[in-house]
Structure 1
Amino acid sequence: MIMVITVTGKDRPGIISSLTEVLYRSQGNLEDASMTILEGEFAMIFLAELKNRSLHTKFRQELKKLEKKLNLVIFIKEIKHRVTRGEKHRPGTIPWVVSVLGKDKAGIVYRVSKLLADSGLNITDLNSKIIGRGIKTTYVLILEVDIPRKNIHLISQLKRKFKTIEKKLGLTVAFNPLESSRF
């Protein structure tokens, strides 16, 4: 049984340890996971696999106890049909990375994601952060995007459109194949 689990709550040491202990003791396996802290709030989403229904039931019961004990909000969704294990990008696509840097302002994510959506492109990963303090504060947005091989011609169009966003919002936008991106 495959499931997606989301967990939120006030951040403190030991949350990940407690969650993964419950999974381990239920004979489950942690597959993909992502975790961050947003304004002091712990936020995690992970994919877990359990061998059978009884272990799944045990896992759910133990998570309920942990939810109360640590004052967390936990949501579990069963995955009925599995894609290829570990597959994030659609077949026939090339993953590209959009990196945006600049002064924080409303509408950055909207404008970049709208441009991508209007081009029929799927965002497979999004991370944004405000780094630094005071005058040196910088907004950072990093997106992974699937570009179908048959639509590779879109790249030059997207680069031109990103230049327009750069000028309008005073940002720096880089757009490169994932394999060549340097983090």
Structure 2
Amino acid sequence: MQNQYILAAMGSNRPGVVADVTGSIYKAGCNIENSFMTLMGVHFTLMIHVIAEDEDKADRLNRNLESLEQKEDLKVHIFPMESDEIEISRARKDQPRYEIRVRGQDKAGIVYRTSKLLASRGINILKLSTKVDRSKHLQQPIFTMRIGIEVPKNVDGHSLRMDLESLAEDTQETFTLTRKRD
């Protein structure tokens, strides 16, 4: 029986850390379905969706990751995905998807207020990334955020746009909403 996991890892960044983690997955006979890797300050972070075709490979994956964690400055957590979670994920693929982009002066609360608005409408966030540009040539730091969302069919697109425009006006940020084509 196929087992699926979400693997989360974080540690000090260094050359070879991606190879070490993905090598542990490969040597266990497992496959990477989806992944996201980035630096947060000086720390390496990653999230990987891993598929193990059987229990033996899943056990090897756990042993490999435990060994890696003991040898390196790395924290690894592995979360099993339940079969009903996988089915729910597949069933939601037909919901409309959009991207929200936000740009403006860096101010506290933009991520919270935007995510709270989306949650109040029953909108699921699929991806979220933020960045603050503090380049010396800028008078003030510039904040950017990209959010991938799936919108339930019962959410009125016009009222969602109006809510985002109201939030943009209130926060004095620029918000754009774009439909994603699959």
- Identify whether the pair has TM-score above 0.5, normalized to the shorter chain: yes
8 Å contact kept, 2:132–2:143: yes
Q: TM-score, normalised by structure 2?
A: 0.89
**Which position in structure 2 is the counterpart of 1:5?**
7
Alpha-carbon offset, residue 7 of structure 1: 0.1
Q: Quote the RMSD (CA, aligned, Å).
A: 2.0
Unaligned runs of 5+ in 1: none
TM-score (norm 1): 0.88
Which of residues 19, 31, 38 is equivalent to 2:40? 38
Aligned 1:55-74 pairs, distance under 5 A:
55-74=57-76
Moved more, 11-20 or 133-142: 133-142
> % of aligned pairs identical?
23
Distance 1:170 1:65 in 2: 49
**Is it true that 1:120 corresponds to 2:122 in the alignment?**
yes
Paired residue secondary structure (2:86): coil
How many corresponding residue pairs?
177
Secondary structure in 1 matching 2:132? strand
Give the structure 1 partner of residue 21 of structure 2: 19
Q: Shift in Å at residue 136 of structure 1?
A: 5.6
Q: Match of 2:96, SS?
A: strand
Partner-residue secondary structure (3-state), 1:174: strand
- Runs of 4+ aligned residues of structure 1 deviating over 4 Å after TM superposition are 84-87
- Unaligned 5+ residue runs, structure 2? none
Q: Secondary structure at the match of 2:108?
A: coil
SS of the equivalent of 1:166 reads: helix
1:48 to 47, 50, 62: 50
Contact 1:32–1:86 under 8 Å retained in 2: no
Determine whether 1:83 maps to 2:81.
Answer: no
